[in-house]
Amino acid sequence: MKLISSESVPVRTPEDIVAVRQAVRRKAVKLGFGLVDQTKVVTASSELARNTLDYGGGGIVQLEIVESERSKSGLRLIFEDRGPGIPDIDLALSDGYTTGAGMGLGLGGAKRLSHEFEIWSKPGEGTRVSILRWK
């Protein structure tokens, strides 16, 4: 996989979540994603950016345009924070599990809305979630 371009957007305020959605939309449009695919990746980014802000205490999103060996293009989004981390990732991924006021849908939903999903988290160190959607 080849990295074509990379841009980072901070996630510090609720307004930043909107900025992330808009930046992701722009990239998806630029890559020629159809409307449904655009909506899926934008929605996933909104869920993950909110987790970064609400649970991670803020962080950063990396927006990357990548290309596969077969010249397929894709949009990879990496959300990173130095918050408290997630003690039990499987539990956090299960629908309906929340330690906040949410519905516990964000992580599982973002995974379903993506082609590839990776999560790394360590209590006391932070959380990193990466999603990828191919064109």
Partner 1 sequence: MGGFLLVTIQVDMHDRLALTLQDDLTSMVVRHRARGVLIDISALEMVDSFIGRMLGTIASMATLLDAITVVVGMQPSVAITLVELGLPLKGIRTALDVEKGMAALQTALAENEDGGDEAHQQ
Ligand X SMILES: Nc1ncnc2c1ncn2[C@@H]1O[C@H](COP(=O)(O)OP(=O)(O)OP(=O)(O)O)[C@@H](O)[C@H]1O
* Binding region for partner 1 (CB under 8 A) out of 44-52, 56-64, 70-78, 125-133: 44-52
106 near Mg ion, judged by CB under 5 A: yes
34 Cβ neighbours under 8 A, 6+ residues apart: none
* Spatial CA neighbour of 125 closest among 98, 69, 99, 86: 86
Smallest distance, ligand X to C-beta of residue 70, A: 32
The SS3 assignment for 56 reads: coil
Residues pairing with 67 in the sheet? 2, 73
Residue 58 binding partner per list ligand X, Mg ion, partner 1, none, with a CB distance cut-off of 5 to 8 Å that depends on partner kind: none
18 near partner 1, judged by CB under 8 A: yes
Helix axes 35-54, 14-30, angle to 10 degrees: 150
16/47 with CB nearer ligand X: 47
The SS3 assignment for 76 reads: strand
63 near partner 1, judged by CB under 8 A: no
Which residues of this protein are in contact with ligand X, per CB under 6 A?
A: 47, 51-52, 55-56, 81, 83-86, 92, 97-100, 102-108, 127
